[in-house]
């Protein structure tokens, strides 16, 4: 970024740092089908995620964001070959406000008027039961505190054991919802957010299956 920059050069850097969190003014995009549940990922409160200013930190509120491509952070709608946005005319509020040379407008809406899952799922929809089930099996605050405890003391066996149990519960719930209840796999990240093992992969935790059992590889 040069000091003289005052217009977007369409370099795509911002789009590769993660899709935008949605705000209530973005609701029409969903109503009009420009953006669907399959394009979304939920960041649960307390989950480690990159803020609009590029800092990895625990989310203060639940967020619903445009998901990344191929398990990464690059926005699903970003076309790398053409350095363009697939929904440019309908891009969400944060994308319209983002000016990398002057982030004040964007930072002014962070955490304001944000959309959460409960805003998008109708009362009586069984997905609400799945979200409540997740909160019982893997309470967001327990996950956040276990992750924080483990990051402070990576060798702490107790924290690892708690996370080990939470990861298994998280995976079992997703499997139950998709295989037994028929939840479309493409909406998994909206309904449950990213699997806990994927969140921890960013901190170097590995996961492999050995003889039908999950084995964790702690850094
Ligand atoms: S929606 Fe479009 S402008 Fe916004 S981050 Fe994604 S590709 Fe970039």
* Interval between CA 91 and ligand 1 midpoint (Å): 6
Query: In the structure, what pLDDT confidence band is assigned to residue 122 with cuts at 50, 70 and 90?
Result: very high
Q: Are residues 127 and 62 in the same domain?
A: no
Q: Are residues 43 and 109 in the same domain?
A: yes
Q: Are residues 153 and 60 in the same domain?
A: no
Span between the terminal Cα atoms of the chain, in Å: 35
Q: Is the pLDDT of residue 2 over 70?
A: no
* pTM of this prediction exceeds 0.85: yes
Query: In the structure, what pLDDT confidence band is assigned to residue 213 with cuts at 50, 70 and 90?
Result: confident
Count of domains in the chain?
Answer: 2
Test site for ligand 1: of 85, 90, 109, most ligand atoms within 8 A of the Cβ: 85
What are the strands, taking DSSP E only, across 4-157?
40-43, 48-50, 56-58, 63-66, 78-79, 84-85
Q: Per-residue pLDDT tens for 59-116?
A: 888 999 999 998 788 999 999 999 999 999 999 999 999 888 888 888 888 889 999 9
Q: Are residues 21 and 109 in the same domain?
A: yes
pLDDT of residue 10: 81
How far apart are alpha carbons 95 and 147 in whole angstroms? 30
Task: Please report where in the chains the tokens 């964790």 appear, as a residue.
Answer: 216
* Interval between CA 77 and ligand 1 midpoint (Å): 6
Q: Are residues 97 and 142 in the same domain?
A: no
Test site for ligand 1: of 91, 98, 100, most ligand atoms within 8 A of the Cβ: 91
């Amino acid at each position: 970024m040069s000091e003289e920059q005052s217009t977007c050069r369409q370099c795509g850097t911002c789009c590769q740092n993660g899709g935008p969190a949605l705000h209530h003014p973005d609701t029409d995009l969903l109503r009009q089908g420009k953006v669907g549940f399959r394009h979304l990922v939920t960041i649960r409160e307390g989950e480690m995620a990159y803020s609009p200013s590029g800092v990895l930190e625990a989310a203060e509120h639940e967020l619903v964001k445009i998901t990344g491509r191929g398990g990464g952070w690059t926005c699903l709608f970003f076309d790398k070959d053409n350095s363009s946005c697939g929904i440019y005319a309908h891009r969400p509020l944060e994308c319209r406000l983002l000016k990398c040379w002057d982030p004040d407008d964007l930072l002014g809406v962070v955490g304001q008027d944000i959309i959460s899952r409960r805003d998008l799922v109708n009362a009586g929809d069984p997905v609400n039961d799945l979200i409540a089930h997740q909160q019982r099996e893997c309470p967001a605050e327990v996950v956040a505190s276990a992750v924080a405890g483990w990051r402070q003391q990576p060798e702490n066996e107790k924290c690892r054991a708690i996370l080990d149990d939470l990861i298994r519960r998280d995976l079992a719930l997703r499997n139950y919802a998709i295989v037994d209840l028929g939840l479309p796999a493409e909406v998994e990240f909206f309904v449950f957010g990213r699997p806990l093992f994927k969140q921890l992969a960013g901190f170097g935790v590995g996961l492999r299956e050995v003889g039908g059992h999950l084995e964790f590889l702690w850094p």
